[in-house]
Amino acid sequence: MFELQDAFARKFQYLRLSVTDVCNFKCQYCLPDGYMPDGRKTFLTLDEIRRITHAFAAMGTSKVRITGGEPSLRKDFTQIIETVADTPGIEKVAMTTNGYRMAKFAHEWRQAGLTAINVSVDSLDPRMFHQITGQNRFHEVMAGIDAAFVAGFEQVKVNAVLMRGLNDGDLDRFLAWIKDNPIQLRFIELMQTGEMDTLFERHHVRGALIKDILLQQGWSQKVKAHNDGPAEVFFHPDYQGEIGLIMPYSKDFCASCNRLRVSSLGKLHLCLFGDYGVDLRDLLSDDQDQAALQRRLREALADKKATHFLHQGHAGMTPNLASIGG
């Protein structure tokens, strides 16, 4: 029975589950000063992850994306994948990663039940990659993508945050890369997070500009599956790869919302751009609390808004992207 539906008839088949806010990269748009440790934090345990996943699956969720921070920094990451994948009703288990551990572990993760990988590659120029991420690991990440294909992943999704004056001139290079590679290249529009207004004003590029270029070059838009994410995906008969555009400032971006977020500290976030989280952790210590946990999820959905308020400059929780698995 499907129970995760809000007042606007949107159904939520997709859970983004953060398992840590630790990250070893220093991306300009997320953690420009690097990760700041906080010894007071205790991230979700395997049992808590199992209970969350079972509650969502019992209410109709079929896809879970494991995020961070950098989720593979967890020593039990392979066990996390197994725990999620073994949940009845979960059909897709994805991860979002900076890719630095993929070359070593892609096969192991595939065997554990991972079905999809998103990896961040903000530039195909190693020097620009280093400038944006704060890490000189371009070749390691590219080797990881190759390892994912060897491990049996039929497609790898590559995320690149568009930034004027940094990587906005890389479109032709990216297109050449995906011409003969089954990569879905996803350009993500830079978001105004409140703490980095200057970065936004200096580097924001409208995704609609890229969309216009693609349409002029003969790309066509695909129809979304029910548990797909927010990207508008385009294909071209001459390319093995695809292009995805994530444009949070576009008209009706929220109309097709189908995803909820749980942070690495056990809080439910109804929207990436919302102001607060609903604490779930008091209901995650015992299997007997499953009914109460599902009830809290249903009740929380009553507060989900029709849309975000980015256009009014309200960024909500986005200054804490790493902790809520943005």
Q: Binding-site residues for S-adenosyl-L-methionine, please? A: 29, 69, 120, 191
Question: Could you tell me if 315 and 192 are in contact, meaning their C-beta atoms sit under 8 angstroms apart?
Answer: yes
Surface-to-core class of residue 250, CB atoms within 10 Å of its CB (0-12 exposed, 13-18 middle, 19+ buried): middle
Which DSSP helix (H) or strand (E) runs through 211?
Answer: helix 207-216
How far apart CA 300 and CA 183 sit, in angstroms, is 36
Cα 195 to its chain centre, rounded Å, is 21
Spatial separation of the C-alpha atoms in residues 207 and 198, rounded to whole Å: 19
Query: Could you give the CA distance from residue 319 to residue 326 in angstroms, rounded to a whole number?
Result: 10
Check residue 65 and give left, alpha or beta (phi > 0: left; psi -120 to 50: alpha): beta
Question: Binding site for [4Fe-4S] cluster: which residues?
Answer: 23, 27, 30, 254, 257, 271
Which residue matches tokens 């921070």? 69
Feature table: binding site for GTP: 16, 65, 96, 157, 259-261
Annotated binding site: 16, 23, 27, 29-30, 65, 69, 96, 120, 157, 191, 254, 257, 259-261, 271
